[in-house]
């Protein structure tokens, strides 16, 4: 709080609502009177009770509201609420979203942040949330397809927007969630089956950065999901027992999972454990020259497709390109072709609880059984084969060009502030 004398008039600079500082001229003869008015105004604004203001304080309060463009409370002659209402923007809604308790602890938090970047690039930071309704959401889906995004990606982004609205509904900041009235895009065009040969995985790995290669072989020899691999900590890997242990908070299914370590993978993990970084217990780190830092999802996404493009240039690979997730499909195929017990196979993949009877759920698979199963597994069962659902459709540019023009998407990159990454 500060009181300044300007040409004989006293001006008060204070924070009546604990947010930004504002200034207002006071009809006070001395600084002592001004301090008394400051205490009265602050108490009235923060309690929302303006009925007890004397004429001098009332006049100063009305002037303050009018200067700031705020709507007057009913006690001061207004027709609405007792605190100034500012339009809730999309960016402010995103800030509230990432700080919400359920989102802060969500395993999908990083994916939400990536989706938010695209949402903000399209709608704009200052877009009022209440102005985003069903037609705008459907237009967004078409625009994203026109930009080359897959239907599953567009669905993820619509789902993130839906969760933002849900948080706002729970906080009583909006009355409805329009995303629930918009259908998700069909993902049938993305259906695929894939098997990668050991030789092709080796070629892809050789064209990836050195720091990324252990991640490739971990996916190939374990069948673990991308998020499970990125989230691996040093304590979860026990080379002495040749076992990776994932807690319920680190798996998609939400229950404990044990993944046996193949002998060929043990050496890869041993080398990864030798590299450390202060401030993190993550197993896989990004080594860029002399610096070592934690690996983020956005960085993870680049090496694999770039390696596939490099192979295509050499005539070693044709489209459709394999995806990193195809390593999981390949592991399951290799396990089946190696004669691994189906129950053990599904337990390692993390599908052990799906569709099991009560009798099956009570069975316990020991660590020894898991190690024996992985030791009996072989990893070279054929050539690379990728089947993708073929549908005759227009190119994304022809199909959605007019939608892109209508949206007038800004190309300026939106970055997610690190202080909001909780």
- 208-217, 387-396, 407-416: which range is least confident on average? 407-416
Cα torsion angle, 227, 230, 235, 240, sign: positive
pLDDT tens-digit series, residues 109-167: 888 998 999 999 999 999 999 999 999 999 999 999 988 888 889 999 999 999 999 99
Q: For the chain, how far is it from start to end, CA to CA, in angstroms?
A: 32
How much is the average pLDDT of 3-29?
84
Q: Do 197 and 179 sit in the same domain of this protein? A: no
pLDDT at 197: 94
Tell me the average pLDDT across 70-89: 70
Name the pTM for this structure. 0.62
What is the radius of gyration, based on Cα positions, of the chain? 29
- Say which range, 159-163, 384-388, 406-410, has the weakest mean pLDDT: 406-410
Final residue belonging to a domain, choices 50, 76, 102: 76
Higher-confidence residue: 399 or 278? 278
Residue pair 187/151 in contact by the 8 Å Cβ criterion: yes
- 124, 169: one domain: yes
Residue bearing the bigger pLDDT, 48 or 121: 121
Q: What is the mean pLDDT of residues 382-398?
A: 64
Are 411 and 322 found together in one domain?
no
Residues 186 and 220 in one domain: no
pLDDT the model gives residue 394: 43
- Residue 237 pLDDT > 90: yes
Regarding whether 67 and 105 lie in a shared domain, the answer is no
- pLDDT of 131 reads 93
Given a cut of 80, whether residue 107 has pLDDT beyond it is no
How high is the pLDDT of residue 334? 95
Per-residue pLDDT band at 258 (split at 50, 70, 90):
very high
Residues 6+ apart with CB under 8 A from 335: 223, 345, 348, 377
The reported pLDDT for the residue numbered 190 is 67
End position of a domain, from candidates 76, 103, 138:
76
> What pLDDT score does 353 carry?
54
Quote the mean pLDDT of the chain: 84
Q: What is the mean pLDDT of residues 36-63?
A: 86
Residue 299 falls inside a structural domain: yes
Q: What values do phi and psi take at 22, rounded to 5?
A: -130, 165
pLDDT given for residue 363 in this prediction = 65
Would you state the pLDDT for residue 94?
94
Residue 85 within any structural domain of the chain? no
Residue 83 placed within a domain:
no
Mean pLDDT, range 300-305, rounded to an integer: 90
The answer to the question of residue 162 being in a domain is yes
Q: Which residues of 231-263 are buried (b: 16+ CB within 10 A; e: fewer)?
A: bbeeebbeeeebbbebeeebbeeeeebbbbbbe
Same domain, 200 and 333: yes
Residues constituting the chain: 422
Q: Residue 355's pLDDT is what?
A: 53
Question: Omega into 320 within 30° of 0, i.e. cis?
Answer: yes
Indicate whether 248 belongs to any domain.
yes
Most confident of 12-26, 76-90, 369-383: 369-383
Quick one: pLDDT at residue 133?
A: 93
Instruction: Please write the tens of the pLDDT for every residue from 182-198.
Output: 999 988 766 788 999 99
d(CA 303, CA 223): 19
Residue 124 is part of a domain; what is its CATH number? 1.10.150
pLDDT recorded at residue 171:
87
Same domain, 214 and 353: yes
Query: Are 168 and 149 found together in one domain?
Result: yes
Residue 313 belongs to some domain of the structure: yes
Question: What is the arithmetic mean of pLDDT over 80-90?
Answer: 66
Return the higher-pLDDT residue of 413 and 279.
Answer: 279
Does residue 29 sit in the same domain as residue 118? no
* Number of domains the chain is built from: 3
Check whether residue 299 and residue 346 sit in a common domain: yes
Q: What is the mean pLDDT of residues 224-234?
A: 91
In CATH, what number is assigned to the domain containing residue 263? 1.10.443.10
- With tokens 């970084």, the residue in question is 277
pLDDT tens per residue across span 309-356: 999 998 998 888 999 999 999 999 999 999 999 999 999 998 655 555
**Pick from 53, 76, 99: which residue ends a domain?**
76
Whether residues 145 and 134 share a domain: the answer is yes
Enclosing domain of residue 52: 2-76
Predicted pLDDT at 354: 53
199 assigned to some structural domain: yes
Is residue 39 a part of any domain in this protein?
yes
Domain co-membership, 321 together with 210? yes
pLDDT at 83 over 60: no
Angle at 314 between CA 313 and CA 316, to 5 degrees: 105
């Amino acid at each position: 709080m500060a009181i300044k004398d300007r040409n004989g008039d006293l001006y008060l600079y204070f924070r009546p609502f604990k947010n930004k500082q504002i200034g207002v001229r006071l009809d006070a003869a001395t600084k002592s009177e001004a301090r008394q008015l400051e205490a009265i105004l602050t108490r009235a604004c923060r309690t929302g009770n303006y009925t007890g203001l004397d004429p001098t304080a009332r006049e100063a309060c009305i002037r303050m509201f009018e200067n700031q463009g705020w709507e007057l409370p009913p006690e001061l002659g207004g027709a609405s609420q007792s605190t100034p209402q500012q339009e809730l923007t999309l960016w402010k809604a995103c800030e509230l979203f990432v700080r919400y308790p359920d989102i802060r602890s969500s395993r999908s938090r990083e994916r939400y942040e990536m989706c938010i970047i695209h949402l903000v690039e399209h709608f704009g930071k200052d877009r009022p949330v209440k102005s985003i309704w069903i037609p705008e959401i459907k237009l967004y889906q078409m625009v994203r397809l026109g930009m080359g995004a897959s239907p599953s990606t567009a669905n993820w982004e619509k789902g993130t927007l839906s969760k933002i609205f849900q948080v706002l509904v729970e906080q009583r900041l909006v009355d409805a969630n329009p995303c629930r009235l918009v259908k998700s895009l069909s993902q049938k065009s993305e259906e695929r089956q894939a098997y990668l040969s050991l030789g092709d995985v080796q070629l892809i790995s050789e064209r990836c950065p050195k720091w990324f290669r252990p991640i490739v072989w971990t996916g190939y020899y374990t069948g673990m999901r991308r998020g499970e691999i990125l989230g691996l900590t040093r304590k979860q890997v026990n080379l002495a027992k040749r076992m990776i242990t994932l807690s319920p908070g680190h798996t998609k299914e939400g229950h404990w999972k044990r993944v046996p370590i193949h002998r060929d993978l043990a050496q890869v993990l041993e080398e990864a454990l030798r590299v450390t970084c202060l401030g993190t217990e993550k197993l896989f780190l990004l080594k860029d020259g002399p610096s070592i830092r934690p690996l983020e999802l956005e960085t993870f996404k680049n090496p694999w497709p770039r390696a596939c493009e490099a192979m295509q240039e050499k005539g070693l690979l044709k489209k459709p390109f394999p995806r990193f997730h195809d390593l999981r499909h390949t592991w399951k195929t290799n396990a089946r072709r190696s004669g691994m017990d189906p129950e053990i196979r599904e337990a390692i993949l993390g599908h052990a609880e799906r569709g099991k009877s009560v009798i099956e759920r009570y069975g316990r698979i020991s660590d020894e059984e898991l190690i024996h199963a992985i030791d009996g597994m072989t990893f070279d069962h054929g050539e690379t084969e990728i089947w993708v659902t073929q549908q005759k459709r227009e190119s994304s540019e022809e199909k959605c060009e007019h939608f892109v023009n209508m949206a007038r998407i800004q190309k300026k990159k939106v970055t997610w502030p690190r202080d909001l990454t909780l």
